[in-house]
Chains A and B, each alone.
Chain A
Amino acid sequence: MSEIADLSALPREEREARENFLVNTKGFLSWALTLDHKRIGLMYLVGVMTAFFVAGMLALMIRLELMTPENTYLSNAQYNQVFTLHGAIMVFLFIIPSVPAALGNFLVPVMLGAKDVAFPRLNLSSFYLWICGAIFFLTAMLYTGLDTGWTFYTPYSTSTKGPVVAATMGVFILGFSSIFTGLNFIVTINTMRPPGMEWFKMPLFLWATYATSIIQVLATPVLGITVLLLAAERIMHIGIFDPEYNGDPVTYQHFFWFYSHPAVYIMILPGMGIISELMSVHCHKSIFGYRFIAYSSIAIALFGFLVWGHHMFTSGMADVTTIIFSALTFTVSIPSAIKVFNWLATMYKGTVQLNTVMCYALNFIFLFTIGGLTGLWLGALSTDRPLHDTYFVVAHFHYVMVGGTLVGFLGGVFHWWPKMTGKMFSELWGKVSCLLVFIGFNLTFLPQFVLGSRGMPRRYAQYVPEFQELHVTSSVGAFVLGFGLFVALGVFIHSLMRGKKAPPNPWGGATLEWQCTSPPPYYNFLTPPEVNDPYNYKPLVYRDGERGWEYIHPEAPEVPQAEPEPAKS
């Protein structure tokens, strides 16, 4: 791994084929023990996709159950277990590691022109912690069924018979996986930027990843100690969360949301980073308001630590506290809005390519904006009282988490798919998948806003018959959404089997990852590449489908340069 074999004698094509990180070493162990961030990123990608598939199936089970007002095929207890499993897997195994651990691992060092992340072994151990946490978590929940909801609220979680201790230990382990990823990225971005890449010459995806990493490092340890105390509460009855011993269950909620609200930004910030890249590249226009987008990422990360109380407006806090939390909550909308307006301004007079990637990016902006604006209803005290714990909340966070993070993640996977696999995908079917996701998603969750505002509470298997029409609409939408995601999966599999070979720069991106081959060699770059403005598209020229976009040095003559002679040592 540390040795870079000298293959310079070989022809370029063959050398690229041999140095391709996917095949430069072979065998199961060469993947299982790899320290290459790109392979770890791909393993994460497969892992989170699997988790997403499982949790998605559970979501369909929930929607199927809710087709009728009575229990259809799940008992109330089983329904509790299914939605707990759905939420917990989605949050801890899919959304949190999706963009940072899968795409981030692949992209951060390449975007920096570095050979690897700062701590490759820590990176691999973080992946195995994820696996370990996932196994722990799943067996615990499948064993007797966990029914606490993904939040493990006390006092129910300390009294239920479910395997809370095992599940919380799974969360503890997954937390460390997340911390190690974040720590690695902060150090990598701080110390391994190439010469010439100042902070404000970094691609915005790196800014978003950096902000995310800050949250991961600062918030996740608090979750760690919270679940540890919860486990101690169950094992030894330490009483901190138990009113029987003068403890206070609301303390648990404070501890939990001190992590879990910032964690919401762990989920959405990397998605925003992806969209910043996608918008600029596929509009072929420099990003509008670079500094504002960069600062707003950091602002969201910091504001995110001050607003956890808005999850607890009805838990019995002092009035003054709720007012303060409510006011702070509204401040988060400022940096979020800055981002949305800047993306829109980027499109203005840009060369908008309505390809699959751009469709997903537009999808993100539309859905995320709805998700964000409905958040204001929930952040305001007067409207939160009736809407709390209704389907309005469910719809709101699905618009942000699915419409935002998942759609952004898919857009990112489509965008970097040629770079990761070296294969192009079917544009037509990609767009079809995006359309289906858009229709299915809105059909699923728009009715839930209505349901919630009419008083349908969360987490019930049964409901009054008046709600059935909206619930059936929502369920039909869920199946359309699921079908759309399967189409996207089909596009990826088809691309792997039959996809055309991708050029190094198929979209005309100006960030560094497009300067190495697709897929990159295992060492990424031998020397730090020349750093330019990541959003200056003027020197890029489109050749043809096979060669894609090529970088022309402004002063250089427009002919391919001769290969330099090997240096004599």
Chain B
Amino acid sequence: MSEAAAHGDDHGHGDHDHLPFLAHHFDDPEQQYDSGKLGMWLFLVTEILFFSGMFCAYALYRSIHPEVWTFASQYLNATLGAINTGVLLFSSLTMAWGVRCAQLRQRTGLVVCLAMTLGCASMFLGVKAIEYTHKWELGLLPAGSYESQYLHTSIHHGISDWLYVLSAVPALCVVGFTVWYGYCLSKGQKENSEVAGSLLVTALCYFAGVGLGIFLESGGDHGGDHGGAHAAEHSTDHGDGHDDHGHAEDAHEHEGDPGHSEHGDDEKHSVLNPNANVVFVSTEVEETSVFKPGAASEKQVDQRGGAGLFFSIYYCMTGVHAIHILAGMGVLTWLLVRATRDHFNEQYFGPVDYVGLYWHIVDLIWIYLFPLLYLIK
């Protein structure tokens, strides 16, 4: 170990004075950056494989039961899905811009970009919260709890109670971050106030997403838009003004285009059958149902082993994706704190770059989820 003396200075803290974030076991910043980048790419590989199990399940069950997928996907609101796609794409832009800012040591630009990325993530979750709670109200649940739509009798009042539950944490965040922001301003803590302000905006973005979701999810009621993929969603709101006495009892037989039926509670049934050709018959007269030859009946797919399975896969895929969004928001917040402390510069921008890669993969997975789930028909 005679080299100890000879090289002690090179690898002692000599380097570390210049490069505060160079770990002791790396020779130079380049090696550290390359290692981190390779590590992140490998992690992304594991992420893709993690999702691949669910994509396999999706492909398997869709290939066996294509009619279920056509039927069930109509309960998904493609407009909201498209908006979320746009929001995530935009967040990828701000993220990539943030990486560039870090590389150029533009501190303010980086903070703004990270805050915008966080805001988009939060807005995505707000829209997702609306979509989820709306479906829970309708009984569009995983297979074990799925409620067949022709039997589903509970009234949906537009805003689900579940939404209040889901929004509790963001609401607390708004209050907490407001207080913190005010405190930092009063104390003149510039760095902390930037963090608090960004997080406050992030929390508010959740409610912007929720507001947008509410408008689009229930706003269609009054617009009378019966076409399109989200007919299923808002048509249940037609039932609001009616008693729920007769959904199961009344035997209705609809022919032609049931979407334009004049009966209020028929609307609910009608949404099961946007295909005008297929006849839907409620429970009591099921024996007399008439089906288009070769087509699966609505009732065969509108059950736990049919649409229920679709929603199982829907919740698994989008749920795991949402968890990844949350994890991404965690690391973005960590970056935000470090960015306000001016940690990143031309030589050390690795963490921003790695989180950027992660963020893009989360975005990319959504790019696949959106058409695969929302745009089947």
Residues of A within 8 A of B (CB): 1-4, 6-8, 12, 15-16, 19, 109, 114-120, 122, 179, 183-184, 186-188, 190-192, 217-222, 224-226, 228-229, 232, 236-240, 242, 244-248, 251, 255, 516-517, 521, 525-527, 563-567, 569
Closest A residue to B49 by beta carbon equals A221
Chain A residue, CB-CB nearest to B50:
A221
CB-defined A-B contacts under 8 Å, sample of 30: A2-B13, A2-B24, A4-B4, A19-B1, A109-B25, A118-B25, A118-B35, A119-B35, A179-B46, A221-B49, A222-B50, A222-B52, A225-B52, A225-B54, A228-B320, A229-B53, A229-B57, A232-B312, A236-B142, A236-B312, A238-B315, A239-B144, A245-B304, A245-B312, A526-B1, A526-B8, A527-B3, A527-B7, A567-B6, A569-B9
Task: Please name all residues of chain B whose beta carbon is closer than 8 Å to the beta carbon of A184 when the two chains form the complex.
Answer: 39
| Known contacts A120-B25, A187-B35, A237 near B143 by CB under 8 Å | yes
Q: Is the pair A239, B50 in contact by a Cβ cutoff of 8 Å?
A: no
- Assess A183 versus B5: contact at CB under 8 Å? Given A221-B50, A239-B144, A251-B57: no
The docked-state distance in angstroms from the alpha carbon of A405 to that of B47 is 29
A248: chain B residues within 8 A (beta carbon): 60
Determine whether the beta carbon of A244 is less than 8 Å from that of B305.
yes
Contact B42 A222 (CB under 8 A): no
Shortest distance from the beta carbon of A244 to any chain B beta carbon, whole Å: 7
Residues of B within 8 A of A1 (CB): 24
The contact of A237 among B6, B45, B51, B144, by CB within 8 Å, is B144
Asked if B39 and A246 sit within 8 Å, CB to CB, the answer is no
From residue B49, how far is it (CB to closest CB) to chain A in Å? 4
Contact A239 B24 (CB under 8 A): no
Identity of the chain A residue whose Cβ is nearest the Cβ of B141 in the assembled complex: A236
Asked whether B309 is an interface residue with its Cβ less than 8 Å from the other chain, the reply is yes
Q: Which residue of B lies closest to A244 (CB)?
A: B305
The residue from B25, B49, B316 contacting A238, defined by CB atoms under 8 A apart: B316
Say yes or no: A2-B305 contact (C-beta < 8 A), given A192-B35, A239-B143: no
- A-B contact sample (20 more), CB < 8 A, given A3-B12, A220-B46: A2-B13, A8-B5, A15-B4, A109-B25, A117-B25, A183-B42, A183-B43, A187-B42, A191-B34, A218-B46, A222-B49, A225-B51, A226-B53, A236-B145, A238-B312, A239-B143, A251-B57, A251-B60, A255-B56, A567-B7
> Measured between alpha carbons, how far is A9 from B45 in the docked complex, in Å?
49
A-side contacts of B145, CB under 8 Å: 236-237
Q: Which of B8-28 contact A (CB under 8 A)?
A: 8-14, 16, 23-26
Q: What chain A residues lie within 8 Å of B143 (beta carbons)? A: 237-239, 242, 245, 247
CA of A8 to CA of B57, assembled, Å:
62
- Residues on B with beta carbons closer than 8 Å to the beta carbon of A2: 13, 16, 23-24
Residue of B nearest to A520 (CB): B1
Known: A191-B38, A238-B312. A6 touches B305 (CB 8 A): no
Chain A residues contacting B304 (CB-CB under 8 Å) are 239, 244-245
What 1/0 mask marks residues of chain B from 306 to 321 whose CB sits below 8 Å from any chain A CB? 1011001101100010
Contact A564 B6 (CB under 8 A): yes
| A224→B143 CA distance, assembly (Å) | 21
Q: How far is the CB of A478 from chain B (nearest CB, A)?
A: 37
Nearest chain A CB to B132's CB is how many angstroms away? 14
Report how far A566 CA is from B149 CA in the complex, Å.
Answer: 83
Contacting residue for A221 out of B9, B14, B47, CB 8 A = B47
- Residue pair B316, A567 in contact (C-beta under 8 Å): no
Q: For A521, list chain B residues within 8 Å (CB).
A: 1
B35 contact set on A, CB distance < 8 A = 118-119, 187-188, 190-192
Contact of A187 among B16, B39, B51, B306 (CB under 8 A): B39
Given A191-B38, A222-B53, A566-B6: A229 and B316 interface contact (C-beta under 8 Å) = yes
Neighbouring B residues of A116 by C-beta, 8 Å: 24-25
Q: Whole-angstrom distance between the alpha carbons of A247 and B146 in the complex?
A: 15
User: Closest Cβ of chain B: how far from A165's Cβ, in Å?
Assistant: 14
Separation in Å of the A196 CB from the closest CB of chain B? Answer: 14
B61's partner among A7, A114, A222, A240 (CB-CB below 8 A) is A240
B residues 287-340 touching A (CB-CB < 8 Å)? 304-306, 308-309, 312-313, 315-316, 320
| Nearest residue, chain A, Cβ from B47 | A221
Q: Which of B11, B31, B52 has the most CB of A within 10 A?
A: B11
A180, closest chain B residue (CB): B43
Which chain B positions have C-beta within 8 A of A183? 39, 42-43, 46
Q: Are B53 and A255 in contact (CB under 8 A)?
A: yes
Contact A190 B25 (CB under 8 A): no
Contact A12 B31 (CB under 8 A): no
CB-CB under 8 A from B57, the residues of chain A are 229, 240, 251
B2 in the interface (beta carbon within 8 A)? yes
Chain B residues within an 8 Å CB radius of A190: 35, 38
CA distance A222 to B61 in the complex (A): 18
Q: A407 vs B256: C-alpha distance in the bound complex, in angstroms?
A: 74
Q: Once the chains are docked, how many angstroms separate the CA of A251 from the CA of B59?
A: 12
- A255 — nearest CB in chain B belongs to which residue? B53
Q: Which residues of B contact A238 (CB under 8 A)?
A: 142-144, 309, 312-313, 315-316
- B23 — which chain A residues lie within 8 A by C-beta? 2, 120
Does any Cβ of A come within 8 Å of B65's Cβ?
Answer: yes
Question: Do A567 and B142 contact each other (CB < 8 Å), given the known contacts A2-B16, A191-B38?
Answer: no
Assess whether A217 is in contact with B45, with CB atoms less than 8 Å apart: yes
Q: How far is the CB of B363 from chain A (nearest CB, A)?
A: 19
Instruction: Give the complex CA separation of A8 and B49 in angstroms.
Output: 50
**Chain A nearest CB: distance from B95 CB in Å?**
23
- A225-B312 CB under 8 A given contacts A186-B38, A239-B142: no
Please determine whether B56 and A217 come into contact, CB atoms closer than 8 angstroms: no
Kindly list chain A residues whose C-beta atoms are within 8 Å of the C-beta of B24. 1-4, 115-116
Given contacts A187-B39, A526-B1, is CB(A245)–CB(B305) below 8 Å?
yes
The answer on a CB contact under 8 Å between A247 and B309 is yes
- Least CB distance from A254 to B in Å reads 8
Known A187-B35, A526-B1; contact A239-B9, beta-carbon cutoff 8 A? no
Q: Given the complex, which residues of B lie within 8 Å of A242, measured CB to CB?
A: 143
Q: B46 touching A566 by the CB < 8 A rule?
A: no
* 130-148 of chain B: CB within 8 A of chain A: 141-145
Chain B residues with CB under 8 A of A217: 42, 45-46
* Cα–Cα, bound, A122→B38 (Å): 14
Q: Give the residues in chain B near A226, CB-CB below 8 Å.
A: 53
Check A225 against B38 for contact (C-beta < 8 Å).
Answer: no
Q: With A6-B5, A225-B51 in contact, is A236–B144 under 8 Å at CB?
A: yes
| Cα A237 to Cα B45 with chains together (Å) | 29
Q: A8-B5, A115-B25 are in contact. Are A224 and B42 (CB under 8 A)?
A: no
CB atoms of A567 and B5 under 8 A apart = yes
Q: Are A186 and B42 in contact (CB under 8 A)?
A: yes
